[in-house]
Structure 1
């Protein structure tokens, strides 16, 4: 059972508590809606995260395999020389976007040139096809890796916000709203008691006045000389 707050049982306090209850109920609904929407988007991100992770891990495994094959068919000096002067460069812009009051990261990936062949920083005469495949595999998986990082960080931030929202919903639902309802009941009960007490006091005063009037009339009836004396006076 919820415990009530210690308040003065006045009509002004009753109006204040009723306003507080209405605000709490409205806030509870808004927070529940926010929690439900966060959960929906969080589950979508979890599914995307699983798909991306499988894709990225498979891409990295393939690139590693291709590099192993390339090193098996080339000298270390040849492999190192192939990557001395890269043709392509990458620009990465990091930003944020707001999702239900949660600021999640956004990564934008751009290459210096649009030519797909610029990922190869070497000529094809003295390198193996396995090295080409390894470079292509890493290039194709890079954007998925960025998206995976974005999604995983978003999942962490949204999970934290969901937990905070859940605690606030529970605090309103199980503590604040019941407590305010009990406080309102207490104030109304006290006001009713005070009103009944006032009515009883008024009835007693009225009875006393009627009784005094009755005694006065009896006195006049039993002692008519009192009236004469008063008139002569």
Structure 2
């Protein structure tokens, strides 16, 4: 038990009382942090679900168009059309701090602003279904990057929530109860020592009075 590991002195009692105050403040702050992390985590989860549905639908649409294009074009023409991409995209990764969690933020920049630069081929010998597939993939790309960003944020926040939860439980079920028990133990010991001291003082007083009485009788 914690009570057997402390020295029952007033200095130790003062130190433990300060520790208890700090532990209670830390417990409250960590609980507030955990609750806020949970709130933001649930918002990210809902956003993640919406983005995933949109990305999956966009990929399905692109796949349907690509299958139709492949059926209407010969393989050599299709491969030639997609061999040399025309547009380039630069991905920049930054971070933002949310409740002491560094969450990645993805920013994209295209080489040109022309929307038609996504097509790396001429339209004379290709199917319109291929145009639809390329356009669908181009449109879903930003959502895919956003989905990756949100999923990573969910992972990081879930990890931080678990760490915070463990700290809250450690304070609530271990540190605070042990400190309270130690304070109780020291208080009882000090009270016991004080009572013992009073008893000794009373005995000394009685002995002194008795000696004084005997001395007066001899005189």
TM range (shorter): over 0.9
- Aligned pairs for 1:134-213 (under 5 A) are 134-213=133-212
Equivalent position SS for 1:31: helix
Equivalent position SS for 1:4: helix
Match of 1:228 in 2: none
Task: Note closer, same or farther for the CA distance 1:5–1:168 as it changes in structure 2 (3 Å cut).
Answer: farther
Deviations 1:198-220 (A, max 9, x none): 11111111111111111222223
Structure 2 residue runs of 5 or longer lacking an equivalent are: none
Please tell me whether residue 67 in structure 1 is matched to residue 71 in structure 2.
no
Please tell me whether residue 115 in structure 1 is matched to residue 119 in structure 2.
no
- Aligned pairs for 1:1-233 (under 5 A) are 3-4=2-3, 6-220=5-219
Q: Which deviates the most, 68-77 or 79-88?
A: 79-88
The offset of 1:156, in angstroms, is 1.0
Q: Which deviates the most, 140-149 or 209-218?
A: 209-218
Q: Which deviates the most, 85-94 or 16-25?
A: 85-94
CA distance in structure 2 between the partners assigned to 1:16 and 1:5 by the alignment? 16
Task: Note closer, same or farther for the CA distance 1:4–1:140 as it changes in structure 2 (3 Å cut).
Answer: farther
CA distance in structure 2 between the partners assigned to 1:48 and 1:191 by the alignment? 59
The offset of 1:3, in angstroms, is 4.8
1:5–1:179 CA contact under 8 A, matched in 2: no
Q: How many residues end up aligned between the 2 structures? A: 219
The offset of 1:82, in angstroms, is 1.2
Match of 1:230 in 2: none
The offset of 1:5, in angstroms, is 5.2
1:21–1:177 CA contact under 8 A, matched in 2: yes
TM-score (norm 2): 0.96
TM-score (norm 1): 0.91
CA distance in structure 2 between the partners assigned to 1:73 and 1:92 by the alignment? 34
Match of 1:229 in 2: none
The offset of 1:107, in angstroms, is 1.1
The offset of 1:96, in angstroms, is 2.1
CA distance in structure 1 between the partners assigned to 2:61 and 2:153 by the alignment? 27
Deviations 1:127-166 (A, max 9, x none): 1111111000000001101111111111111111111110
Give the root-mean-square deviation of aligned CA atoms.
Answer: 1.2
Structure 1 residue runs of 5 or longer lacking an equivalent are: 221-233
